[in-house]
Structure 1
Amino acid sequence: MAYRSWLPSLWGEKESVESSFGDLRKRIDSLFDDFDRGFPALAGSFAVRSNVSETDKEICITAELPGVEQKDIDVSISGNRIFIKGEKMSEKDEKKEDKGREFHRIERSSGSFQRAMTLPFEIDAGSVKADFKNGVLTVTIPKPAEAVKETRKIEVK
C-alpha cells in the first residue's frame, strides 16, 4: 500500500484541495464506523448489543448474538453482577480459503465476547432464567422483595 498523507496539499500537487478533504472525511467516517462496531478487527472480539428493561418485579436483558450457537454462551452470576460470555466461531477463514481473492472490506467478525453488568441488588442465581432463540439471548432476573418494596412512585405536580 502506497503512503498517502491524510492532510490536503495546498502547494500545487496534482490533487485538488476539495478531493483531499473529501478523502480525509471518508477516512474519518471509516474510523467512527469502526468505533461504533467496537473495533472488531483490532480486538479479536465483537461488541454485544443489548437492551436492559425493567418492571416492578424483574429486570430483563436481551443481547443480540447473531451467528453464535447456544452451546457457546455462558451466563454467570457473582453477587450483584451478571456476566454474559461466549465465542462466535467462523466456519472457515475466508482470507486463507480464497487464494488469489483480494478483500476490500471485511466486516463480519468472529472471536470471543464478554459483557458484564452490575445491578443495584444481590442476584439470586437460582431464580434467573435465560432463553436463547433466533440469535437473541434473553435473561430475566427477578428483583428481591427488598428491591420491590423500595420502589415508590412519586406524583409529579
Structure 2
Amino acid sequence: MSQDLIEEIRRTFDELSKAIQKTVEDVVRTTTSTVRKITVEQGINIKEQGDDAIIEIDMPGLEPGDISLFVSKEGDYVKAEGARGERKYSKKVFLPFKIEPSTVKASYKNGVLTLTAKKSKPQEIQIKVE
C-alpha cells in the first residue's frame, strides 16, 4: 500500500470516529432532556415564557410559612417541602433547562406554590488552541 492511501484511510477513520462521537453525545443530550420532560410528576407544571421559567407545584392545605424552598446552585432543580398537620409534601423537580438561582421568586396561593425565575443562558469560555 502506498503511504498516501494509508494516510487517506487514517483520515477517513478519524472523521468517522468524530462523527460517531458527536452522534452519541447528541443522543445522550436529547435523551436526557426528553426524560426530564417526561418524568415530571403529576401536580407539577413547568412553563417557559421567553427568558422566564414558571414552575407550579400543587401543595394544598398549607400556609406560606409551612413551606421550605431550595434551589440548586447550578439551577437545574428545585425542592419544595411543607407540612401542616397530616399533610406532608416533599417534591424535587428536575428542570428541563437551567435557571438563575438568584432570580427565583416564590408565591403561594390557592394551594399552588408558584416559582418564577430567569432561565440561564449558556456561557462560553474561549479555549486557546496551541
* TM-score bracket, shorter-length normalisation: 0.5 to 0.7
Question: Please, which of 60, 70, 77 is the counterpart of residue 71 of structure 2?
Answer: 77
Measured in 2, the distance between the counterparts of 1:133 and 1:143 equals: 23
1:86 aligns with 2:62: no
Distance between the aligned counterparts of 2:110 and 2:99, measured in 1? 26
Identify the structure with the greater strand proportion: 2
Return closer, same or farther for 1:126/1:137 CA change in 2, 3 Å cut-off.
Answer: same
The structure where helix makes up a greater share of residues is 2
What residue is the counterpart of 1:141 in the other structure?
117
CA contact (8 A) 1:48 1:115 kept: no
Partners in 1 of 2:65 and 2:51 — Cα distance? 29
Count, aligned residues: 81
Q: Is this contact kept in 2: 1:73–1:84, CA < 8 A?
A: yes
- What is the Cα-based RMSD across aligned positions, in Å? 2.3
Kindly indicate whether the alpha-carbon contact (under 8 Å) linking 1:51 and 1:63 is maintained by their aligned counterparts in 2: yes
In structure 2, how many angstroms separate the alpha carbons of the residues matched to 1:53 and 1:139?
A: 10
Where does the alignment leave 5 or more consecutive residues of structure 1 unmatched? Answer: 1-46, 90-109, 148-157
Amino acid at match of 2:53: I
- Give the aligned partner of residue 49 of structure 1: 43
- The ranges of structure 1 where at least 4 consecutive aligned residues each deviate by more than 6 angstroms after the TM superposition are none
| TM-score, L = length of structure 1 | 0.45
Provide the TM-score with structure 2 as the length reference: 0.53
Note if 1:129 corresponds to 2:105.
Answer: yes
Q: What amino acid does structure 2 have at the position aligned with 1:55?
A: Q
Gaps of 5+ in 2: 1-40, 124-130
Identity %: 31
